[in-house]
C-alpha cells in the first residue's frame, strides 16, 4: 500500500523556490535541516491566556505535549488561538465561541500541519476548538487543562461557581454576613485549573473523553496533578501515530460516539450547555443528531456521579474514584454504552474502560442507588417552546418538576436586576419567573443569566427554589428548577415574547411539556402587536445577530455548517 504523503510536505518538501522559502523562514527559530525531512508536523493549538484563569497553566502543558511529539518523531509547532474565559470575558464567552472556532479552522487549514493537539480549559474553548478542527478534519486529539483542587473555606470543601450562587443567596436571606462572604473569596480558587464542580468545563472535558477524541482520564485529573503532565506527554506521542494512521476526526466523531456522550452526560449530571455545544459539533462534522436525540438517548440514564451542583462532591474526589472510565464501564454493564465506538487510542470505547475500577462508591454510585433515577437532559415542548427547551432534572427540585404558576415577566436582565430587589414585587413561591430577550440574538451570545436569583423577600421566608424559564443559558455550576434555551427565542419572535404578567404557565417534566395557558386567538393578537428589537448596529455583534442559529440548532453560524476540509490553494511567490 502506498503511504499517503504528509500534508506539510506541500510546504516543506522538495527543492522548489517555495519550499526553500518556507524552510528558510522556519529556520530562524533554530530548527535543524532534518526537521523538514518528512516527519509529521504537529500543530499545538493553545488557548493559553492570563486573562483566562482556567487556561493560564496551559503553556506548561504545551511543553509536555511537545516533548511527547518529539519522542514519537514529530515536529511540534505551537500556535495561539482566541482564548475564551467565562469568568472575565464580557458580555459572555459564548458570544465568541463561533468566532474562536473560525480562528481555529482557518489557522489549521492555512498552515503546514499534519495533525493537531487542541489544548482547552474554560468551557467555551473546548467546543470552539473541536468545532474548528472538525471543519478541517485532520487527525486531532484533545487535551483538557484539568480542574482545580477543591476549594476550602472555614473547614468546608467549596465548589467553584456552585458555592458562589449558594453564598450569594445566603447573604440576601440574612443567613451569611457580607464579611464572611468576602472572606470566602481567597479559598475558592486555590490552584490552577478550571471549575472543580461538574460545571460546563468539567462536563465538556468529560464529553471529549466520552466521544473518544481525548485519552482516558482526560476529564478528571486535577490541573496540578503530575499525572496531568504525563497525560500531556502521552497525548503528544499519540497524535504522531494518529497522523501515520490517518486517523481523522470524521472517523471518530461517528453517531455511536455522540450517543455515548449523551448517556455519559446524564450519568455525570452534566451541564445543559453540553447540548448546545455537541449539536454545534455535529453540525460541523455532518452527523445527524438533534435536540430530540438528547431526550431519547438520555432518558432512562440515572445520574450516578454525586458531584456539585447536583450532589455533594467535587472533581478531585471524582478523579480519585476513577473518573469517566468508571462511569462508562457502569453504563456498558447496563447496556447503555455502544461498546464498539472508536477512540483516539485505536481501541474501542469498551476496550478503553473494561478494566476501570470504582475506588469511590460514594462519589460514583451504583445504578441501584443513584443520585437521581432519571438524569440526563429533559427536552420540553409546547406552545411556549415549539422548537424545544431543556431542563436538568438532577439539579432541580423534585416537587417543582410538575408545577403550574403565575408568570412574573422580566423583559431584560437589566429589568430583572432592578425589580427583583423591590419588596413590593408581586411574586410568591408559586410564581413562575420568566426572563426573555436573553437568547442567541436577544442578548447577543446567550449569556448565563437563566438561573435568576430568587427575590430577597422570598429567600428570607425560607424559599430555596422556584420555577424559572428563559431563552438564556445558565452556568453549568448552577442549580435549580430552571428551564433554559427556549426556542425560538423572544428576540426571534418566539412565543416567549408574548407572555404577559399574570399568565398561567404549566411545567410537566415527566410529560415533557411547557405550556402557556393562553388561547391561540389571544396569542395571535399579541403576535400581531409584537415589535422586534433593533439589531446590533455594527461590528462582530451585527454579524453574530444576523447569522446565529437558534439554540435547538446549537447556536452556530449558518455559514459555518458542514465540513470544508483541509485543502488549501497553492500559493505562488
DSSP state of 556: -
The predicted structure's pLDDT at residue 570:
63
Return the pLDDT at 371. 95
Confidence category of residue 1, pLDDT binned at 50, 70, 90 = very low
Q: Are 272 and 476 in contact (CB under 8 A)?
A: yes
The predicted pLDDT at position 375 comes to: 85
Q: Cα separation of 426 and 408, whole Å?
A: 8
Dihedral of CA atoms 195, 66, 349, 102 in degrees, nearest 10, equals 70
Strands 151-153 and 156-158: antiparallel
- Per-residue pLDDT, averaged over 491-500, amounts to 97
- Give the tens place of pLDDT for each residue, 99-127: 999 999 999 999 999 999 999 999 999 99
Q: Which residues pair with 71 in a beta bridge?
A: none
Note the pLDDT of residue 555: 98
**Residue 143 pLDDT > 50, yes or no?**
yes
The residues that bridge with 155 in the sheet, in sequence order, are none
Rounded mean pLDDT, 504-522: 98
Supply the pLDDT for residue 476: 83
DSSP calls for 23-66: HHHHGGGT--GGGGSSPPEEEEEE---TTSGGGTTHHHHHHHHH
The share of the chain scoring above pLDDT 70, in percent, equals 98
| DSSP structure class, residue 307 | B
Hunting for cell 410529560 — which residue is that? 511
* Kind plus residue range of the DSSP H or E element containing 70: helix 58-71
Average pLDDT over residues 447-463: 94
Cβ atoms 69, 425 nearer than 8 A: no
| Residue-wise pLDDT tens digits, 169-210 | 888 888 889 888 887 887 888 899 999 999 999 999 999 999
How many angstroms separate the CA atoms of 560 and 11, rounded? 27
Per DSSP bridges, beta strands 504-508 and 402-410 are: antiparallel
Whether pLDDT at 572 is above 60: no
| Average pLDDT for 511-531 | 97
DSSP readout, 436-500?
A: -S-STTTTTTT-B--SPPPPHHHHTTT----EEEESSB--TT--SSEEB--SS-GGGT-GGGG--
Give the containing element (helix H, strand E) for 433.
strand 432-435
Whether the upstream peptide bond of residue 177 has omega within 30° of 0, thus cis, is no
Q: DSSP letter string over 379-425?
A: EEEETTEEEEEEE-GGGS-GGGSEEEEEEEEESSHHHHHHHTT-TT-
Q: Is the pLDDT of residue 2 over 60?
A: no
Coil/strand/helix, residue 351 = helix
Q: Report the pLDDT value the prediction gives residue 182, as an integer from 0 to 100.
A: 85
pLDDT above 50 (res 79): yes
Rounded CA-CA distance 204/129 in Å is 12
What is the pLDDT averaged over residues 329-357? 98
- Does residue 322 register a pLDDT over 60? yes
pLDDT of residue 159: 83
Cα–Cα distance for residue pair 518/212, rounded to 1 Å: 46
Distance between CA atoms of 135 and 146, rounded to whole angstroms? 25
**For the chain, what percent of residues have pLDDT higher than 90?**
86
Distance CA 396, CA 466 (A): 9
pLDDT in tens, 364-420: 999 999 999 988 899 999 999 999 999 999 989 999 999 999 999 999 999 999 999
Q: Give CA–CA dist 407/59, Å, rounded.
A: 49
Grid coordinates given for 495: 412565543
Higher pLDDT, 33 or 281: 281
Please report the domains of the chain, with CATH numbers, ordered by start residue: 32-149+191-353 (3.40.50.2300), 150-190 (no CATH), 378-533 (3.50.30.80)
* Helix (H) / strand (E) containing 298: helix 291-298
Task: Tell me the C-alpha distance between 265 and 260, whole Å.
Answer: 9
User: pLDDT value at position 161?
Assistant: 75
Beta bridge partners of 214: 142
Q: Using the structure block, give the residue that is written with the C-alpha cell 472510565.
A: 325
Torsion of CA 193, 197, 200, 206, to 10 degrees: 80
Burial class (CB in 10 A: 0-12, 13-18, 19+), 569: exposed
Q: Is residue 573 very low, low, confident or very high in pLDDT (cuts 50, 70, 90)? A: very low
**Mean pLDDT across 150-166:** 81
What pLDDT digit, counting tens, does each position of 242-289 carry? 999 999 999 999 999 999 999 999 999 999 999 999 999 999 999 989
pLDDT of residue 536: 67
Which of the four pLDDT bands, split at 50, 70 and 90, describes residue 537? confident
Backbone angle region of 304, left / alpha / beta, with phi > 0 → left and psi within -120 to 50 → alpha: alpha
Question: What does the buried/exposed string (b/e) look like for 460-477 if buried means 16 or more CB atoms within 10 Å of the residue's CB?
Answer: eeebebbbbbbbbbbbbb
Three-class secondary structure assignment of 264-295: HHHHHCCCCHHHHHHHHHHHHHCCCCCHHHHH
Helix axes 226-244, 58-71, angle to 10 degrees: 50
Count of residues for the chain?
573
Pairwise CA distance, residues 362 & 403, whole Å: 32
- Which one has a higher pLDDT value, 168 or 449? 449
Mind listing the pLDDT tens digit for each residue in 542-570?
A: 999 999 999 999 999 999 999 999 997 76
Q: Which three cell numbers stand for residue 269?
A: 449530571
Amino acid at each position: 500500500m502506498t503511504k499517503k504523503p504528509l500534508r506539510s510536505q506541500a510546504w516543506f518538501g522538495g527543492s522548489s523556490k517555495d519550499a526553500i522559502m518556507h524552510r528558510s523562514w522556519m529556520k530562524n527559530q533554530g530548527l535543524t535541516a532534518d526537521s523538514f525531512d518528512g516527519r509529521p508536523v504537529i500543530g499545538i493549538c493553545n488557548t493559553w491566556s492570563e486573562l483566562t484563569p482556567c487556561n493560564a497553566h496551559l503553556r506548561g502543558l504545551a511543553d509536555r505535549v511537545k516533548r511527547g511529539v518529539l519522542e514519537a518523531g514529530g515536529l511540534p509547532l505551537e500556535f495561539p488561538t482566541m482564548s475564551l474565559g467565562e469568568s472575565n470575558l464580557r458580555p459572555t464567552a459564548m458570544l465568541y465561541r463561533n468566532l474562536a472556532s473560525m480562528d481555529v479552522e482557518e489557522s489549521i487549514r492555512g498552515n503546514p500541519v499534519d495533525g493537531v493537539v487542541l489544548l482547552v480549559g474554560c468551557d467555551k474553548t473546548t467546543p470552539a476548538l473541536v468545532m474548528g478542527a472538525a471543519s478541517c478534519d485532520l487527525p486531532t486529539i484533545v487535551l483538557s487543562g484539568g480542574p482545580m483542587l477543591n476549594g476550602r473555606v472555614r473547614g468546608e470543601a467549596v465548589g467553584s461557581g456552585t458555592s458562589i450562587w449558594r453564598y450569594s443567596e445566603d447573604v440576601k436571606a440574612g443567613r451569611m454576613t457580607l464579611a464572611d462572604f468576602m472572606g470566602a473569596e481567597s479559598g475558592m480558587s486555590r490552584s490552577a485549573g478550571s471549575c472543580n464542580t461538574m460545571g460546563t468545563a468539567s462536563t465538556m472535558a468529560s464529553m471529549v473523553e466520552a466521544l473518544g477524541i481525548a485519552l482516558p482520564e482526560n476529564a478528571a485529573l486535577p490541573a496540578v496533578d503530575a499525572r496531568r503532565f504525563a497525560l500531556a506527554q502521552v497525548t503528544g506521542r499519540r497524535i504522531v501515530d494518529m497522523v501515520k494512521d490517518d486517523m481523522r476526526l470524521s472517523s471518530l466523531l461517528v453517531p455511536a460516539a455522540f450517543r455515548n456522550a449523551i448517556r455519559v452526560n446524564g450519568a455525570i449530571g452534566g451541564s445543559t450547555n453540553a447540548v448546545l455545544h455537541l449539536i454545534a459539533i455535529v453540525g460541523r462534522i455532518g452527523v445527524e443528531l438533534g435536540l430530540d436525540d438528547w431526550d431519547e438517548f438520555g432518558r432512562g440514564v440515572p445520574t450516578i456521579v454525586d458531584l456539585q451542583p447536583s450532589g455533594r462532591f467535587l472533581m478531585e474526589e471524582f478523579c480519585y474514584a476513577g473518573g469517566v472510565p468508571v462511569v462508562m464501564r457502569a453504563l456498558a454493564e447496563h447496556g447503555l454504552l455502544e461498546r464498539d465506538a472508536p477512540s483516539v487510542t485505536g481501541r474501542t470505547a469498551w476496550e478503553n474502560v473494561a478494566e476501570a475500577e470504582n475506588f469511590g462508591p460514594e462519589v460514583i454510585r451504583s445504578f441501584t442507588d443513584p443520585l437521581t433515577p432519571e438524569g440526563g437532559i429533559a427536552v420540553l415542548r409546547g406552545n411556549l417552546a415549539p422548537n424545544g427547551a431543556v431542563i436538568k432534572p438532577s439539579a432541580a427540585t423534585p416537587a417543582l418538576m410538575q408545577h403550574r404558576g403565575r408568570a412574573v415577566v422580566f423583559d431584560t436582565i437589566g429589568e430583572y436586576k432592578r425589580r427583583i430587589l423591590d419588596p413590593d414585587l408581586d411574586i410568591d413561591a408559586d410564581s413562575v419567573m420568566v426572563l426573555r430577550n436573553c437568547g442567541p440574538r436577544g442578548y447577543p451570545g446567550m449569556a448565563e443569566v437563566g438561573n435568576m436569583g430568587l427575590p430577597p423577600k422570598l429567600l428570607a421566608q425560607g424559599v430555596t427554589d422556584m420555577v424559572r424559564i428563559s431563552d438564556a443559558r445558565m452556568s453549568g455550576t448552577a442549580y435549580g428548577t430552571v428551564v433554559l434555551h427556549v426556542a425560538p427565542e423572544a428576540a426571534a419572535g418566539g412565543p416567549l415574547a408574548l407572555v404577559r404578567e399574570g399568565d398561567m404557565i404549566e411545567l410537566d417534566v415527566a410529560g415533557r411539556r411547557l405550556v402557556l395557558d393562553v388561547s391561540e386567538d389571544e396569542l395571535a393578537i399579541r403576535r400581531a402587536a409584537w415589535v422586534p428589537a433593533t439589531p446590533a448596529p455594527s461590528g462582530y455583534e451585527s454579524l453574530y445577530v444576523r447569522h446565529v442559529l437558534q439554540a435547538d440548532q446549537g447556536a452556530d453560524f449558518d455559514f459555518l455548517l458542514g465540513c470544508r476540509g483541509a485543502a488549501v490553494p497553492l500559493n505562488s511567490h
